[in-house]
Amino acid sequence: MANSMGVFRSVFSDFKASALSLATFSILSKFVVASLSIPAVALFLRSLVSMPVKSKSGSWEFFEYSGSFPDLVLVMIIVFLWLVGFLVEQSGLLIIASGKVRGSVPKIREVLFKVLRTAPRIVGLSSFLAGVYTFCFVPLLTVFAFITRKITDSGNGEYPSFFTGFFGWLLAAVSLLILIRLMLSWLFAMHFGLLCRKKFLKALGSSRKLVKGNRMRLAHILGRFWLLTVTILLVFSFAFRWGRELMISYSREPTSFNIFRLSLFASAETVFVTVIWIIVAGLFSILVTRLFHELVSENRFEGLEKTGVSSVKESTIQKRPWILFLIGLFAFQATYFDYYGKLMVESEVDLPLVTAHRGSSLKAPENTMSAIIQAVHDGADIIEIDVQLTSDGHVVLNHDRTLSKVAGVSKSVPEMTLEEIKAIDVGRRFSRNFAGERIATLEEVIEYMSGVDTKIKLNIELKDYEKTPSIVQAVLDILEKHEFTQRTIITSTSRVRLAAVRESNPAIQIGLIVTYITKDLWSLDVDFYSVSSTILNETFMIRARSYGRDVHVWTVNDTDSMMRYTSLGVSSIITDRPETLSQLLIRKAQLSIFQRRVLAVLSS
C-alpha cells in the first residue's frame, strides 16, 4: 500500500474531480435523514423524559446528560440515528468514489438507483454497525460527561457512579480499544455489501479478512485524517463560541435584536459546519474506497465486480423514472416544509419580546428613572410603566391607588400637585442606595428614551382607576409632542380608556389587560391581550391567534414559567427580571437547527 502522503494526494485529486457529485448526494441524503431522524428523536424524548414537556422544552438545558438511565437511553438513540444516517450517506458516496477510482464518476441517477435497490441491505448493515458502535461508546460517554462537569464546574460536582471510579475509567479504555478495533475490522463492510453484493455476515467477514495484517497502516492513515478533521472543527467551534460571547458582551442592543443577530450567527455556524462535514464525508469516502481497492489489488481479493454501478440490472425505477421524481418531491416537501418551514415559524413563536415590568423592578424602585435605566441595561425590548394624572394635569408614574407602598404616603396621585409629588422620596423604602429617588414624569421618561436605542418601546398602562378621563388626551399630547407614538403601546383594564385612545389616534397599538375572561372579550377592537399568567393557557392562545391578536403574559419571574410561556408562543413576557429572561432567550437563540427542530416538535 502506498505511503500516507501519496494516498492523501490521490484522495484530494479524486475529490476535486468528483466534488459536485459527492456534494449533491451528500446534501440529498442529509435532507432525507434529517426529515426522518429529528421527529424520531423528539418521539423518543416524549416517551423517555419524565417531566412535563410543555414546561421544560423552552430550553435545551434539560437535554444535558446527567448519567441517569433515561439520559443514557436517549443519548444512545441519538448516537445510533446519527451513525445510521452517516453510514447510509457513505453508501452512496463510496459508490461515487469507487467509480472515480476506476476511472469514471457515475451519475447521481445511477447512484440513487443503486442505493434504492440495495436499501434493505444498507439499512440492515448500517443499523448493525451503529448498534455495536453505540454500545461500545456508552462507557466513553459517561466518562466524557463526568470530565465536562468537572471542567465547567456544573451540576453538583462529582456524583457517585461506578463509571467515575477506577473500574469505570478502565472500562472506558477497554471500550475505546474495542471500538477502534471493530471500526477498523469492519471498515470495508459497506464496500463488500454494495460493490460485491455480499450478504450481511459475509460482508463483515470479508472486511475483517481484508483488514487483517494491515491494521497498523490503516490506523496510521485514518488517525491522521481524523486528527486533522477534529482539530479543524474544534478551532472553528471555539472561534464561533468566542464570536458569540464577544457579540453579547459588547452589545447594548435590546434582547430581540441580539436574538436576531445570534440566530443569524447560529445559522451561519450551522451552514459552515454542514459544509465542512460534506467535504469531510466526501474525502473520507474517497480515502476508504481508495484503500479498499489498493488492498484488494495487493491481496488479490476475489469478488469485487469489475463493472461496478453500471452492472446493476434495470429496475422498476429505471423503467419508470417518474417514480424517482415523486420520491425526490416527497423528500423535498418533508424536509423543507416540515423542517425549515416549521423552524422559521417556531423561531418567531419561541422567542418573545422581553418586557420589563415597571422597569427592572427587582433591582431598582418600581416606576422610577433608575428602574427604567436599569431595564435598558438588562436588555429589555419593552419597558412597561404605569401612569396617573396629578391634580394640576401632569402625567407621572405610579401603580397603586395611593403612594403608601412606595413612600408611606396615604394620598393618591390625583389628590396632589406635581410639586407636592416631587417632594416625596420613593427610593429609600426600596434601598438606602436609592435614597432621594423621585417620582418620574412621563415627559422625563420619554426624554430619556429618546436618547437610547430606538428599537426599545414603552408600554404605557393607564392606571387612573377610572378617576381621570382626561388622562388619555394628556398622554397622547405628550407622545405627539415628542414624536414618540411609533415607539409606544398603550394598555389598560378600562375598555373605555382604550376606546378613547383608538378614536384619538388609531395608529397607536392598544392592548386590553385581561384578569378574567368574558364573553365579549373577542369582539373588542384591540391589537393584543395582556393576560395574567394565572389564566393563560393553550386554548386562549389558539383563540387569540384565530383573531389575529398577539398575547403578552404577566408577571412571570421564575425560569420554568418563562420557558413554558416561551414554548406556548406568547409575543411578550412581562417580568420583574428582564435580565434573567434576556439571558434565557439568548441561550435559546444559540441553539443549532437540529436542537431547535427537536424543541419545536416537542412543544407542538
* 438/369 Cα distance (integer angstroms): 8
Torsion of CA 156, 161, 167, 169, to 10 degrees: -40
Picking from 448, 191, 211, the residue whose alpha carbon sits closest to that of residue 309 is 191
* 276/210 Cα distance (integer angstroms): 30
Cell digits for 110?
A: 445511477
DSSP state of 50: -
Is the CB of residue 568 less than 8 Å from the CB of residue 539?
no
* 445/93 Cα distance (integer angstroms): 63
Active-site residue 377, yes or no? no
* 569/150 Cα distance (integer angstroms): 36
Cell digits for 99?
A: 467509480
Query: For residue 351, with 0-12 CB atoms within 10 Å meaning exposed, 13-18 middle and 19 or more buried, which class applies?
Result: buried
Cell digits for 347?
A: 423561531
Picking from 245, 239, 250, the residue whose alpha carbon sits closest to that of residue 276 is 239
Cell digits for 58?
A: 423552552
Angle at 393 between CA 390 and CA 397, to 5 degrees: 45
3-state DSSP assignment of residue 249: helix
DSSP state of 566: H
Angle at 58 between CA 54 and CA 61, to 5 degrees: 115
Picking from 539, 595, 592, 586, the residue whose alpha carbon sits closest to that of residue 566 is 586
Catalytic residue among 191, 220, 377, 399: 399
Catalytic residue among 357, 377, 482, 552: 357
DSSP codes, 225-269: HHHHHHHHHHHHHHHHHHHHHHHHHT--S-HHHHHHHHHHHHHHH
Specify the pairing of strand 488-492 against strand 528-532: unpaired
Active-site residue 220, yes or no? no
Contact residues for 517 (Cβ-Cβ < 8 A; gap 6+): 535, 540
Cell digits for 566?
A: 416561551
3-state DSSP assignment of residue 427: coil
Is the CB of residue 438 less than 8 Å from the CB of residue 365?
no
Cell digits for 408?
A: 408611606
Contact residues for 161 (Cβ-Cβ < 8 A; gap 6+): 67, 142, 146, 168
Picking from 386, 385, 387, 382, the residue whose alpha carbon sits closest to that of residue 570 is 382
- Give the residue numbers annotated as catalytic, written as ranges: 357, 399
